[in-house]
Amino acid sequence: EAGVTQFPSHSVIEKGQTVTLRCDPISGHDNLYWYRRVMGKEIKFLLHFVKESKQDESGMPNNRFLAERTGGTYSTLKVQPAELEDSGVYFCASSQVAGAVTDTQYFGPGTRLTVL
């Protein structure tokens, strides 16, 4: 069974540019989460999809961030325009049972975003 995949693995962009990160969850997983880790700090929750619906987006930093999960399969996270403080590692995770925080989350390897 394929795990959670993320693309790209690394992205280096200049301030003001746009970047789109992609996450492909494990097939059949209803829950999809986005997290971000700024260098050396805690992993912070960004948002949670149940199928195609946003269950909780309270962790999204501001309106420069837009997440979508059309059709309830893969998800994209767009940052537009990117700022220096957006640099970090963006993780995606998926779990099977809709809405169950106790269900094991499977993480992708992350996308390392560097904004210059």
> How many alpha carbons lie under 13 Å from residue 73 in its C-beta half-sphere?
2
The torsion defined by the Cα of 111, 5, 107 and 62, in degrees rounded to 10, comes to 50
For another protein, the binding residues in 2-21 under the rule CB under 8 A are 3-4
For another protein, the binding residues in 88-107 under the rule CB under 8 A are 91, 93, 99, 101-102, 104-107
* Pairwise CA distance, residues 97 & 26, whole Å: 12
Q: Which stretch binds another protein (CB under 8 A): 11-19, 48-56, 68-76, 78-86?
A: 48-56
Secondary structure of residue 23 in the 3-state scheme = strand
**Residue 109 interacts with another protein (CB under 8 A)?**
yes
Binding site for another protein (CB under 8 A): 3-4, 33, 35, 40-45, 48, 55-56, 58-59, 91, 93, 99, 101-102, 104-110
